[in-house]
Structure 1
């Protein structure tokens, strides 16, 4: 039986003719023999499509070369020939990131604030100097031998600040340049302790009163050209002025006025007064048990040896030699220095002064006008924000110094009002914790010092009395501490402690400015309203 004949495939559908103008279209395929469809017949290899023309074909550009850059137009075309890179000419800026925006904003704000503040400082200083420099070009009375106008500047120590010169530096920075431009001299007394201004003013006024009463000799005057008489010196002082830097200086100055003019005319020296208190406090005296031991040794000593020690022949004179102790009892042969009773001398001089001389003079002598210069010192970790704010507001201090200098130079004065006693009160709140604890800190330091001083005094006494030899350390350094050295060391410490204790009672925030009703209309101050400026 023969195989059935296969059915011939159906003819393929006719292919549409190619579109006219279709470059590169494939020609129509011929029908498949037997009418089989392409899907049912093995596909013939397709003819490769013609390759796309290379870039720049027909334009004279070699194959593989980069496409030509778009030509620049306008000013960029001109700048391109100057050598500027094309990347610079076509640069398109964009905003930086958020973090960079924050950084540049803060930096720009801080820089602008600082620049503006310092620019205002320069402007104020320049305008003030141009205003007052005409005073410095005026001829000096007396010619080349004349004495210029002079002011006295008091700068008290700020509580809690170890820098005792900070108030005077404030004056040098904010007021001094204008005084120099105006040809005005200045004197800066030092105030190393609290209360130093009070003690110095008190001593000066007391000396003036005692000289006027004949209790003290008047310093001799040299009869030379240019040397002023006492009356001329007094007139120059009244023409000058007094600058008080800060509220603490005002408190100390007014307290000095009260003690000097309202007190008596007895002789007074603060250091001698402190020395008199320290003289008989028993710190350098031998203890009772040591004195008992000395008395027992005196009973046991040989009379012949005692006679030999106390004999005038031992020294060739009328006094025994203290440099050759015998038997460890050298202190017995030391001559006793004469003791002068300071209190009795003072009592005798006081009793000789008539009582009515102690009465304050009426009316009170004229005083130089006072300039009140604001001042504050930020000290301590908690005041760092105030320090930063103050650093960016320098112009306010420059303006205050300018106003004060103009009032001082132009001598615009007015009577002192009770409201002026509130000067700079708000700045007292910036006293730090160390300032308010000053009495407690001094008491602790004094106790620690005296605890350590007792054995040192004992060792020094034993060496001077011949009861011990030099230690190895003393032999090495070649120095032995003497009792006189310890007394001098203790005196310096007590002067500082006592001075600060007394002074703090004057300047502490709870203490008001000293005032007496008899001073009404007596004191004058420079009027700052006439030297006001403008600060933006």
Structure 2
């Protein structure tokens, strides 16, 4: 029986060639479909915010600016958070003409410290009545007419991941309770008090030495003439007219020194106060899928990455549209779905020590978040 021939004398492919060609065609089709749907999903997001970039700004209007806080996911590096921001959040902000500043917390507590210090500075400026000094620049072609340029201040805080979100809220709460005095001023007051204690101690030692020498002089028999006594009396009379110098003892200073130092540091400062305004806050999920047990899900999300683009992109769209609502209690303790992908010894310790994120109502009532579409 003769083998069947294809047209134009082409030989039929072997079984191995068919298998190889089918695999290559399947993978190529998956990659093409994934890129196509990802591009389509991004374009749908861009269509919702591009009108903001096309809108002309006013003469004295500055573009919006937001601050993004990144923290390394447990058991992994900070680069994963950077990639998550670049892939799913940054493109939407760019198309909406929203300026942004990225701040990274490499260690635990870095983001909390940054937020706390920022809120403390706002409270301090409000108490002292200090306003930011605008930059003065000249108009093009007319350097004699300066125009004040307002600073482009951030009006929103975006926290990517549960770790960063918890530190942001803790920083906001602690910033309202932090003392307004700078640490340098407190250290200066303490050093002044310590120098005063050393000076008083030295003066006490000098007074004790003088008294001891006087006792030695009294013990020795000294012949003094009448003329010398009269001269000494005149000197004593001249000294009597001078104002006496009061020298406090070390015991008296130590008894009052603590109270004075506390008064200098505290200065009747309130323990809690709010800044004039709070920036809007928003949590953005970050699923760092790692581990051998999650390999099937990683392959699926690699092929269906457009779902993640649409999911996370809606958060960025909400930030760009700038429609706000009060922060609710159920918006605080979020991000529990991330913990299923915390793999590793460090991640297990994080899961064991993870506590519910809480925020006092006296702070939460003044916070707002962005309205996100549920479509």
TM-score after normalising by structure 2: 0.66
1:152 matches 2:32: no
**Number of residue equivalences:** 290
Matches within 5 A, 1:306-385: 348=261, 351-361=264-274, 365-385=276-296
Report what 2:217 is aligned to: none
How far does the alpha carbon of each residue in 1:287-318 deviate from its partner, in whole angstroms, 9 at most, with x for none? xxxxxxxxxxxxxxxxxxxxxxxxxxxxxxxx
Quote the Cα distance in structure 2 between the aligned partners of 1:367 and 1:169.
28
Matches within 5 A, 1:419-430: 419-430=330-341
Report what 2:127 is aligned to: 213
Select which of 78, 84, 88 maps to 2:7: 88
Tell me the SS of whatever aligns to 2:373: helix
Q: How far has the Cα of 1:246 moved from its partner? A: 1.2
Matches within 5 A, 1:130-145: 130-142=47-59
Could you list the runs of 5+ residues in structure 1 that have no partner in the other structure? 1-85, 273-343, 439-503
Select which of 487, 512, 533 maps to 2:356: 512
Contact 2:135 2:148 (C-alpha < 8 Å) held by counterparts:
no
Quote the Cα distance in structure 2 between the aligned partners of 1:173 and 1:87.
48
Matches within 5 A, 1:228-239: 228=150, 237=154
Q: How far has the Cα of 1:198 moved from its partner? A: 0.3
How far does the alpha carbon of each residue in 1:241-291 deviate from its partner, in whole angstroms, 9 at most, with x for none? 22111111110100101111134435358xx9xxxxxxxxxxxxxxxxxxx
How far does the alpha carbon of each residue in 1:20-46 deviate from its partner, in whole angstroms, 9 at most, with x for none? xxxxxxxxxxxxxxxxxxxxxxxxxxx
Pick which of 402-411 and 507-516 moved more: 507-516
Report what 2:163 is aligned to: 248
Select which of 521, 528, 535 maps to 2:365: 521
- Bigger fraction of residues in helix: 2
- Shift in alpha-carbon separation, 1:403–1:212, aligned structure 2, 3 A: same
Contact 1:380 1:432 (C-alpha < 8 Å) held by counterparts:
yes
- Bigger fraction of residues in strand: 2
Contact 1:168 1:188 (C-alpha < 8 Å) held by counterparts:
no
Contact 1:152 1:186 (C-alpha < 8 Å) held by counterparts:
yes
Report what 2:312 is aligned to: 401
Greater RCO, 1 or 2 (C-alpha within 8 Å, sep 6+)? 2
Report what 2:301 is aligned to: 390
Q: Which has the larger radius of gyration?
A: 1
Tell me the SS of whatever aligns to 1:372: strand
Quote the Cα distance in structure 2 between the aligned partners of 1:508 and 1:141.
52
Quote the Cα distance in structure 1 between the aligned partners of 2:6 and 2:310.
52
Report what 2:234 is aligned to: none
Quote the Cα distance in structure 2 between the aligned partners of 1:136 and 1:114.
31
Contact 1:164 1:193 (C-alpha < 8 Å) held by counterparts:
no
Q: How far has the Cα of 1:151 moved from its partner? A: 0.8
CA RMSD across the alignment: 3.4
Report what 1:127 is aligned to: 44
How far does the alpha carbon of each residue in 1:161-187 deviate from its partner, in whole angstroms, 9 at most, with x for none? 1x3243233222212222222221111
Q: How far has the Cα of 1:436 moved from its partner? A: 3.6
Pick which of 99-108 and 252-261 moved more: 99-108
Contact 2:69 2:157 (C-alpha < 8 Å) held by counterparts:
yes
- Shift in alpha-carbon separation, 1:87–1:120, aligned structure 2, 3 A: closer
Contact 1:376 1:427 (C-alpha < 8 Å) held by counterparts:
yes
Q: How far has the Cα of 1:221 moved from its partner? A: 4.4
Report what 1:64 is aligned to: none
Quote the Cα distance in structure 2 between the aligned partners of 1:350 and 1:112.
74
- Shift in alpha-carbon separation, 1:113–1:268, aligned structure 2, 3 A: farther
Tell me the SS of whatever aligns to 1:180: helix
Quote the Cα distance in structure 2 between the aligned partners of 1:195 and 1:227.
34
Report what 2:203 is aligned to: none
Contact 2:122 2:276 (C-alpha < 8 Å) held by counterparts:
no
Tell me the SS of whatever aligns to 2:317: helix
Quote the Cα distance in structure 1 between the aligned partners of 2:353 and 2:263.
36
Q: How far has the Cα of 1:115 moved from its partner? A: 2.3
